[in-house]
Every structure is written in structure tokens, then in C-alpha cells.
Structure 1
């Protein structure tokens, strides 16, 4: 069953110079019980798409889509109150900068208690405070915080960025959402804790059937945990498919460059060899190239690339390129 079904999502920002198209006709789908990775360089629009799904973009942004369905319901056609009710019940998000998302004037205990729905508590209303306390402690233990007493009695500014990130994850999974959106969930965490949190997200998926949208700019950190990958470049979807097949046979030059830039995916690379990298850098929103936005950096670019390539499909593998790698046209 499709939980999330987005077709041709476009996000435009109103500026004094006019509209800037930050996300250009991106399609994304997520099935029940699936972990999908969304990967790309910083500035590619990953976080914008996540914020559009949970409805937290401000009024300067214009959201357009041919389809924006959640469990068969078109969210863009609903009144704001109904939209917030559905999103608040079924979707949770782990934000990239937890210290800015937590309330600096409230104790962690208050914020964590507020995130726990009453319907998940046992007993009558008179036991509610005690049950929330027990639930909050259990959530902190689940995300790897052992010193729960000191954390619950602290304000966010008294905690490290890593502990704040763990608290955000605990708040996100408190209501057992159908979809968990993790936007760079391991930022500012040490390597051992990163592995622990990825295992936690994987176990939530396997044991509770929770769908996960895992967002990162590090391909190697999420590839082993995802079923499908979608690759973004500068607001355009360049390739999407099953993780194993996409890593084994990428069709888009940008996906190929991401894979070649990771030593883990290059076992035959000689020691101290220089890793592959595309020339140049990702363009700013104010100076976007026409057509394929990778064009100025692409080693295979030709004059046809001034036109935006259509999204092509080979079985369950999608790619958007005029001159795909290792691809033979069907006879």
C-alpha cells in the first residue's frame, strides 16, 4: 500500500527578484514498511521536500504538485486544520538542528511529556503523569540516553548537540507514527552513536512496520539501511530505484560520481589514490542553469542538455538524463 505518493512537486520561493524554483517537478513515493533514502549535496532541496510533507514551510513558499497524496487523501486539497490533524497523527520528523527546534524555556521532561499521546497511556487519568514519566524514561533509554534523570531536569541549552538530537528522536517516535522523516538524524553525533541510531531506526521499521524517509548527504551512511534510494541534484530528481541495483548500475552521471567518491564502494581503488569528484560546485538558487542543472559540471554534457530531460523508466529504475550511462535503448 502506498502511504505517500507525490507527483511533480514544485517548490517556488517568492523574492524581490521574482519566483525562484528551488525544487523542480520531483516525484516521490513511499510504501508501507519501506525505508527510502533521499540523498544529495547540501542545497539540493532534500530538507525543503521534507518540510513540505509535514507542512512547515512559511508563506513565502508556493507548493504545487500534480498529486500530493497521503494514504489516498490529497493533502493540498484539504483545509489547513484537517491537514494538520492528519500530519500530526501519522507523520513525525527529526529535524537537522535540534537545539533550534527544542523550546529553550521548557525542561526536556515537559517537552517529552507533551509529545506522548494520552491514548498510548495505561490506566485512568489520575495515573497520567506517572505513566508519561515512565514512558519518557523508556524513550530516552531506547535512544541511548542512560542518565535520564539529569536530562529530563535540564533545559536544551544545558545539553550537548548530540544529546539534543537523541531527545528529538525520542519525541518523534513517542506517538508511533506511520512515517518517520529523519533529516540528517546523526548530525553532531559520534560514530558509535550514529550506528546505534541507524540500528534503532531499522528496528522500528522491522518490528513496528514504521515507514522511514531517511535524508542525508552521505551516501555510504544510509545505503545499507534503505530499500530504495532517490538522488537529488539542485532541486531535480536525477535517479531513483532499488538501492542495490542503483549502486551496482547507476545510469546518471551524478549518481555515478557520488558512488565513485565513496572509498567503501571502490574496493579496487589503490591506497592513497585520488577519489573521483565532479568539477565545480552546486549553483546558487539565484543562478540556476537552464535545462539539466548538472549540465555545467557534467562530463557527458552536450547541446541537448539545455532542455530538461524527461524522467525515463527501466522496470523499477527511474533516471533523468539525455545521455545515460550503461543504458541501451529498448528495441
Structure 2
């Protein structure tokens, strides 16, 4: 049974220009112990999807879904208190903005210790010291060497990279069943990025923690994730095993992302232009009808003004009327 099963999730936002669909019929499935990558450019709706899973919608949101299950429980039927308890114990998140996620009036160490689970086996007169030692252990694991100094500091006294490491330590200290990492290595140097990804991979392999890794860098996700979902402008373009998606992409957008990946073999001429799609991602107030990639897609035809259904071939999913390396699905294919 999947740990997280979302079918046809739609998020509508009320704006001064009217109601717009920020996410349209998005499906996502994460199995226990799976490291799932969610790739998409800025504005594709990745963070909206993460917030919908966590149950922290905005005041102007309208959320509908055919199915939104967590380990056999319907998230749509849970109360706000049940969702908060679930988020605190079984689901953890690493947000993209660490400075805005930490309380500037409380020391970092106090916030980290408060987020950690209670150890009732330890004698009450030794708990504070033991919890502080465990907090320092997690800070050291994420690459912070001066743990004493960081724990006694406030968020505004630390760099953005250090705050991000604190947020990662705070999320994984509970050893949740699902960890949602939204750009977890943003504003970090390359060596630290590799260290964080190794830590997440180790957490996934040793403790069977399922991880939803959100990023806009396909080459980064390709080296760590088992499954990959490609999101564009609020619609799922393609989903499947990472190795198969990279070797034989079905959707034109996935192929464009692969063509745009840097080539380190030396075959690219000096200062030559990389392959890109024409145009840019549309604004929410001016979304095209049908497939939202249509105005930029090299495969687009008249049929693309109708939204393609999510086609299923073995363990691969794609939404395209004219896919690469595959026969198009019939319009009556169930999504």
C-alpha cells in the first residue's frame, strides 16, 4: 500500500483577477522507503503541492481531490488538529526559506530541542542534558562543527546556509516516515550540498524514511532519486522511474530539460548557446487552455488545446497527445 497517494489534486486561488487553477489534476504516489524527486521550474506549483500535503493552505485556497490518502487514512476527512499531529510526528518538512521558518526571538538550540520527541526512558533530572546532547549530535551530522555556539545563537546571527542546516536537523531529529525537502541545499556550497544529500540518502536507506525531494535541478535529482515526477505550470508532464525517464523521455518538456543539462564531456563549444524552449512560463492570470506547455512545445498541434489525460504505460505516466518514443494514448484512457 502506498504511503502517500494523491489523485487529481486541484488547487484554485482567488485573485483580484478572478479564480485561477495553480495546480490542475496533479497525481503523486510515494511508496514506503522511496526517494521521490519532484522537478519543475519556479512557479510550477511545487511548494503549493507540499503545503497541500502538510495541510497548511492559504486563506484564498480551494482544494479538491479525487483521493488524498496517507497510509490508508483520508487526509481530506481529518480535522486541523489531526493534521497538525500528523505533521509533527510522521511528516516533516524542510522549507526553502530557513530564515523565515525560525523564530528570531528564541535561540536556535531551544527551538531544536522543542521540536525533538520526548525521551521518557531517561530520568527526569537527566533529560535536559541528554536532549541537548542529542540536538548537538544532529547539528554535527548536518555539517555544523561549532554546535555549542550555534545552539546559543539566534537565527538572525547565523548565515542562510547555517539556518538551512538547523532546519534540516530539526526535521530529521524526529525520524519521520515522510520528509518533504523543498530545495534543502539552497544557498549552500557544493561540498555542503553533497554532504546533505548523502545524509538524506543515508536516512532513507537505514531508517526507511520516504523522502519527497523538490528541486529545479534535474541533474541533481537524477543522482539521488528512485522515482521522478516532472511538473510544469501546475500540471504533471511525466512520472516514472528515474533511470527510465532519463534514458527514454516521453514528454517534450522532459526532453527539453534533459537537452538543457550541462555536458561535461567537452563536446560543447566555448560560449555556445544551450538548447532551450522558446518563450517563458505563463503567469497564472494568463494560462493557456489545454496543455499549458502548448505555446512553447515543439510538438504542439491543434489537438493540444484540449488537456491530455495522464497516460499509464507499465510504471510510466505522461500527459501528451504527441509523445516521444511512445504511441499516443486514447482520449478515454483513465487518469
The two structures have a TM-score, normalised by structure 1, of: 0.96
Partner of 1:210: 209
Q: Is the 8 A contact 1:263 1:269 kept in 2?
A: no
Q: CA deviation at 1:126?
A: 2.1
**What secondary structure, in the 3-state scheme, does the structure 2 residue paired with 1:169 have?**
helix
Partner of 1:257: 256
Give the whole-Å Cα distance in 2 for the aligned partners of 1:242 and 1:269. Answer: 28
Contact 2:92 2:172 in 1 (8 A): yes
Tell me if the contact between 2:17 and 2:285 (Cα under 8 Å) persists in the aligned partners. Answer: no
Separation in 2 of the partners of 1:72 and 1:269? 50
| Structure 1 residue matching 2:88: 3-state secondary structure | helix
Q: In 1, distance between residues paired with 2:89 and 2:203?
A: 17
State the alpha-carbon separation in 1 of the partners of residues 80 and 152 from structure 2: 35
Query: How far apart are 1:187 and its partner, in Å?
Result: 0.4
Deviation by residue 1:56-114 (Cα, 9 ceiling, x = unmatched): 22221111110000000001112221222122210000000100110010000110011
Q: Which residue is equivalent to 2:269? A: 271
What's the secondary structure of 2:69's corresponding residue?
A: strand
Look up the match of 1:186. Answer: 185
Q: Which whole-Å CA distance do the structure 2 matches of 1:47 and 1:114 have between them?
A: 25
How far, CA to CA, are the matches of 2:63 and 2:174 in structure 1?
27
In 1, the alpha carbon distance for the partners of 2:236 and 2:327 equals: 21
Q: Once the 2 structures are TM-superposed, how far is the Cα of residue 14 of structure 1 from its aligned partner? A: 1.3
Q: Residue 141 of structure 1: SS of its match in structure 2?
A: helix
Which piece of structure 1 moves more, 52-61 or 132-141? 52-61
The alpha carbon displacement at 1:268 in A equals: 7.9
> Which residue is 2:29 aligned to?
29
In the other structure, the counterpart of 1:64 is 64
Q: Which residue of 2 aligns with 1:12?
A: 12
Local SS of the residue matching 1:2 = coil
Cα distance in 1 for partners of 2:192, 2:77 equals 41
Deviation at 1:271?
Answer: 3.1
- The answer for the alignment partner of 2:38 in structure 1 is 38
SS in 2 for 1:22: strand
- Paired with 2:207 and 2:302, the residues of 1 have a C-alpha distance of 50
CA distance in 2 between counterparts of 1:232 and 1:314 reads 18
**1:304-315 matched pairs, under 5 angstroms:** 304-315=303-314
State the partner residue of 1:74: 74
> Aligned partners of 2:328, 2:299: CA distance in 1, in Å?
17
For 1:192 and 1:278, the matched residues in 2 are separated by: 31
Residue matched to 1:167? 166
* TM-score, scaled to structure 2: 0.95
Offset, 1:18? 2.3
- 8 Å CA contact 1:241–1:318 kept in 2: the answer is yes
Counterpart CA distance in 2 for 1:85 and 1:102 is 20
Q: How far apart are residue 329 of structure 1 and its match? A: 5.6
**Count, aligned residues:** 329
1:35-114 aligned at under 5 Å gives the runs 35-114=35-114
Q: What is the alpha-carbon root mean square deviation over aligned residues?
A: 1.5
